C-alpha cells in the first residue's frame, strides 16, 4: 500500500501512444477504437498499491505530435510507462527522446514491442527499462525496487552499457484474481464510441450519431495454436471464467450505458462448451456482441446459441482456401472446415469477418484461385487479402533473422510505422516477384468483389451502407442527379450492382423483377 512505496515516487504517468508516425501537425488515424486493456490493468495494479496514476492517452484524443509536445511541458512525474506493439516503434522512439529532453523520470516500456524487441528498443531509444510479458505484478515490483531493477523478475535494462535480462516472471494463472480495469482513468466517452469487430449491418453508416455505446472486453489471454505468422501475446491460452466476464459486462452497462460489447480476445470461442456457456449467460443482458473464433472450434449449435444470445458477428482467421498453404502456415485447420463454419455462421444469420493472408512460400495463381472459389462456393462477401508481414514474436520472423532476410531489425521496425500488410510494405516469401504478388492480390480481390456485390443484393441494409460509404466520392453531377430524385438514383445504383452479378441475359420472372425496381428518369 501507500506507506510501503518508495518515498521518492510520487506520481506515475502511463501513456497510450498513437499508431503510425504522421507529420508534426497531422492528426493520427484512429480507424478502430480499441481500449488499451493491458495498460488499464497496470494502472489498476499501481493505483491499488497506493501510487498516484495519470493516463496520457494520445491515441484516444488523436493529438498531433505538436499537441503532444505542448502537453509534455506540464507532465510532472517520477516514472513514465508506455505500452506499444511493433508498428508503434517509430512513435515510441520519438516520444521517448522528447520525454528525456523534458524530464528526469524513468521511462518504462511494456507490450509486445517491449517483450519481443527489447534489444532494439534499449539499443536505439531513450527507454530505460523494458517489461517482458505481463505487467501487472512486474510494474508494482519495479516501483518498489526502481533503483535495483536486477531484483525484479521479467525485465530488460542496460547495466554498464550492456543489455541485461532478469529471470522470467511466472505467468498469472488465475485471471479472475485481477480486479476490473481502472476505467475511470481513461476518456470513456471516447472509447465507447467504438464499433464492433464485425460491423452490425442493422446500423446504417449515416446514422453514426445515434450508435449505441460500444466497449471492448477481453475474456482471456493467448491462443493454444502456433500459426507461423502470428506474433503471440502469450504462449498458451488462459481464460477468465464466464461469470467474471459477464460481471464486467454488467458493470459497463450500469456505469457507462454500454449496449454493445466487442470481445477483443485473440480467440474468444476456444471450444464449443465455452461458447454455449457464454451464450447462456450473455442472453439475459439483451445487448449485441461479437468476437473472434476458429473454424474448428464452432458448429451450427454453438453459433445458433450465440446468435440467440445477441451475438451479431464472428471473426474467422481463414487465411487461405488452399490446404497446401494452410499446412505451410501451421494453421491447424482445413479448407473444408472453413467451408463448414462459414456455411453454419451464414445460415444462423451471423455476419462474418474473415482474415486472408497472401505471400507464403508456395503461393501461386492456383492457390489464390482456391481461396476465391471457397468464398464463391459459400456465398461469403470476402473482399481483401492482407499481404504477409513478418512480426517480432512469430516463428517466421525468427527464421528471417536466422536466414539473413532481415539484416537490420531497427530499420525493419521503422518501415512498418505506417501500417503493414498492404502493397507498400510486405514480405514476399513466394517464388514470384513482388509485382506478380501484387497482381495476384488485385486479381483475387476483383474476383471476390463480384461475390460481395451479389451479397449486397440480398442484404438491403448492407447495400445502403455501401452506397452511403461511396457517397463522399461522387462527382458533382452524381450529387445533382441524386438530389433531384433520390429514389430513382438509389434504384439505378441497385440496378448497376445487379447488372454486375445477375445472369445475362435475364429472362422470365427474374427480368420482370429486375426492371420493376424503379423507373430511371433521365435528367432534364
**10-residue averages of pLDDT along the chain (524 residues):** 58 90 69 84 95 92 90 88 94 95 94 96 98 96 94 95 94 93 92 68 44 88 89 79 97 95 88 94 95 92 96 93 95 96 91 90 92 88 85 93 93 81 79 92 86 71 66 61 65 63 45 39 34
Tell whether the torsion through CA atoms of 273, 276, 279 and 281 is positive or negative: negative
End-to-end C-alpha distance for the chain, whole angstroms: 78
Cα gap 402→85, rounded to integer Å: 22
SS3 at position 346:
helix
Give which of 177, 180, 172, 295 is closest to 236, Cα–Cα. Answer: 172
Cα gap 7→426, rounded to integer Å: 49
C-alpha to C-alpha distances, 397 to 228, 330, 432, 502, nearest whole angstrom: 9, 15, 20, 45
Q: Please give the pLDDT value at position 136.
A: 96
Q: Please, are residues 114 and 87 in contact by the beta-carbon 8 Å criterion?
A: no
SS3 at position 419:
coil
Taking each helix axis as running N to C, give the angle between helix 434-457 and helix 365-378, from 0 to 180 degrees, rounded to the nearest 10.
10
* Residue 177 burial (C-beta neighbours within 10 Å; 0-12, 13-18, 19+): exposed
Written as nine digits, the cell of 384 is 481483401
C-alpha to C-alpha distances, 477 to 466, 474, 481, 495, 519, nearest whole angstrom: 19, 8, 6, 19, 19
Tell whether the torsion through CA atoms of 247, 250, 252 and 255 is positive or negative: negative
Residue ranges of domains in the chain, CATH in brackets? 2-165 (3.40.50.280), 192-388+428-466 (3.80.30.20), 474-515 (no CATH)
C-alpha to C-alpha distances, 76 to 13, 102, 165, 294, nearest whole angstrom: 8, 9, 29, 46
Written as nine digits, the cell of 66 is 505538436
Q: Please give the pLDDT value at position 511.
A: 41
Q: Please give the pLDDT value at position 510.
A: 45
Q: Please give the pLDDT value at position 449.
A: 80
Cα gap 46→519, rounded to integer Å: 66
Q: Please, are residues 77 and 55 in contact by the beta-carbon 8 Å criterion?
A: no
Q: What does the DSSP assignment read for 120-135?
A: HHHHHSS--EEE-S--
Q: Pairing relation of β-strands 288-293 and 260-263?
A: parallel
Q: Please give the pLDDT value at position 99.
A: 95
CA atoms within 13 A on the CB side of 295: 26
Q: Please give the pLDDT value at position 72.
A: 86
Cα gap 307→302, rounded to integer Å: 9
Q: Which residue has the cell 460481395?
A: 452
Q: Please, are residues 63 and 72 in contact by the beta-carbon 8 Å criterion?
A: no
H/E stretch holding 79 reads strand 79-83
Q: Please give the pLDDT value at position 518.
A: 36
Is the link from the previous residue into 505 a cis peptide, with omega within 30 of 0?
A: yes
Q: Please give the pLDDT value at position 205.
A: 38
Cα gap 135→153, rounded to integer Å: 11
Q: Please give the pLDDT value at position 490.
A: 64
Q: Please, are residues 326 and 361 in contact by the beta-carbon 8 Å criterion?
A: no
Q: Please give the pLDDT value at position 204.
A: 40
Identify each DSSP E strand in 240-350 by its residue range: 260-263, 288-293, 311-319
C-alpha to C-alpha distances, 34 to 42, 165, 190, 419, nearest whole angstrom: 16, 31, 10, 16
Q: Please, are residues 126 and 151 in contact by the beta-carbon 8 Å criterion?
A: no
Q: Please give the pLDDT value at position 240.
A: 94
Longest Cα separation, the chain: 85
Q: Please give the pLDDT value at position 168.
A: 94
Q: Please give the pLDDT value at position 450.
A: 76
Amino acid at each position: 500500500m501507500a506507506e510501503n512505496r518508495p518515498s521518492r515516487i510520487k506520481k506515475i504517468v502511463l501513456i497510450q501512444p498513437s499508431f503510425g508516425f504522421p507529420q508534426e501537425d497531422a492528426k493520427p488515424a484512429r480507424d478502430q477504437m480499441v481500449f488499451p486493456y493491458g495498460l488499464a490493468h497496470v494502472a489498476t495494479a499501481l493505483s491499488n498499491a497506493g501510487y498516484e496514476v495519470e493516463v496520457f492517452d494520445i491515441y484516444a484524443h488523436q493529438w498531433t505530435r505538436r499537441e503532444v509536445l505542448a502537453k509534455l511541458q506540464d507532465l510532472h512525474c517520477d516514472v513514465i510507462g508506455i505500452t506499444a506493439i511493433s508498428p508503434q516503434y517509430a512513435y515510441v522512439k520519438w516520444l521517448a527522446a522528447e520525454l528525456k529532453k523534458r524530464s528526469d523520470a524513468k521511462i518504462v516500456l511494456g507490450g509486445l514491442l517491449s517483450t519481443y524487441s527489447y534489444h532494439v528498443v534499449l539499443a536505439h531509444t531513450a527507454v530505460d527499462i523494458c517489461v517482458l510479458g505481463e505487467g501487472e505484478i512486474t510494474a508494482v515490483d519495479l516501483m518498489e525496487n526502481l533503483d535495483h531493477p536486477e531484483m525484479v523478475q521479467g525485465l530488460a535494462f542496460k547495466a554498464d552499457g550492456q543489455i541485461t535480462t532478469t529471470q522470467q516472471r511466472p505467468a498469472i494463472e488465475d485471471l479472475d484474481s485481477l480486479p476490473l480495469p481502472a476505467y475511470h482513468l481513461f476518456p470513456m466517452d471516447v472509447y465507447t464510441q467504438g464499433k464492433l469487430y464485425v460491423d452490425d449491418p442493422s446500423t446504417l453508416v449515416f446514422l453514426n450519431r445515434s450508435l449505441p455505446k460500444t466497449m471492448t472486453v477481453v475474456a482471456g489471454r493467448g491462443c493454444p495454436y502456433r500459426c507461423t505468422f502470428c506474433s503471440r501475446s502469450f504462449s498458451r491460452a488462459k481464460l477468465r471464467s464466464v461469470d467474471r466476464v459477464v460481471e464486467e459486462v454488467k458493470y459497463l452497462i450500469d456505469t457507462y450505458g454500454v449496449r454493445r460489447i466487442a470481445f477483443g480476445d485473440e480467440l474468444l470461442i476456444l471450444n464449443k462448451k465455452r461458447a454455449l456457456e457464454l451464450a447462456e449467460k450473455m442472453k439475459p443482458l439483451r445487448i449485441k456482441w461479437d468476437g473472434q473464433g476458429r473454424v474448428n472450434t464452432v458448429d451450427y449449435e454453438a453459433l445458433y446459441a450465440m446468435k440467440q444470445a445477441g451475438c451479431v458477428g464472428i471473426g474467422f482467421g481463414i487465411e487461405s482456401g488452399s490446404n497446401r498453404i494452410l499446412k505451410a502456415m501451421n494453421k491447424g485447420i482445413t479448407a473444408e472446415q472453413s467451408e463448414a463454419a462459414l456455411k453454419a455462421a451464414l445460415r444462423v444469420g451471423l455476419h462474418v469477418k474473415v482474415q486472408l493472408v497472401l505471400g507464403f512460400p508456395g503461393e501461386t495463381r492456383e492457390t489464390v484461385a482456391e481461396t476465391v472459389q471457397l468464398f464463391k462456393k459459400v456465398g461469403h462477401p470476402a473482399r481483401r487479402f492482407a499481404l504477409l508481414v513478418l512480426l517480432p514474436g512469430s516463428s517466421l520472423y525468427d527464421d528471417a533473422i536466422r536466414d539473413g532476410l532481415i539484416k537490420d531489425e531497427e530499420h525493419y521496425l521503422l518501415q512498418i510505422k505506417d501500417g503493414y500488410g498492404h502493397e507498400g510494405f510486405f514480405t514476399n516469401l513466394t517464388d514470384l516477384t513482388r509485382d506478380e504478388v501484387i497482381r495476384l492480390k488485385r486479381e483475387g480481390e476483383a474476383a471476390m468483389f463480384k461475390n460481395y456485390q451479389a451479397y449486397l443484393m440480398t442484404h438491403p441494409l448492407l447495400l445502403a451502407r455501401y452506397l452511403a460509404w461511396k457517397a463522399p466520392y461522387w462527382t458533382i453531377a452524381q450529387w445533382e442527379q441524386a438530389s433531384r430524385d433520390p429514389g430513382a438514383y438509389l434504384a439505378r445504383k441497385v440496378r448497376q450492382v445487379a447488372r454486375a452479378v445477375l445472369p445475362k441475359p435475364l429472362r422470365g420472372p427474374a427480368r420482370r423483377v429486375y426492371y420493376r425496381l424503379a423507373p430511371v428518369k433521365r435528367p432534364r
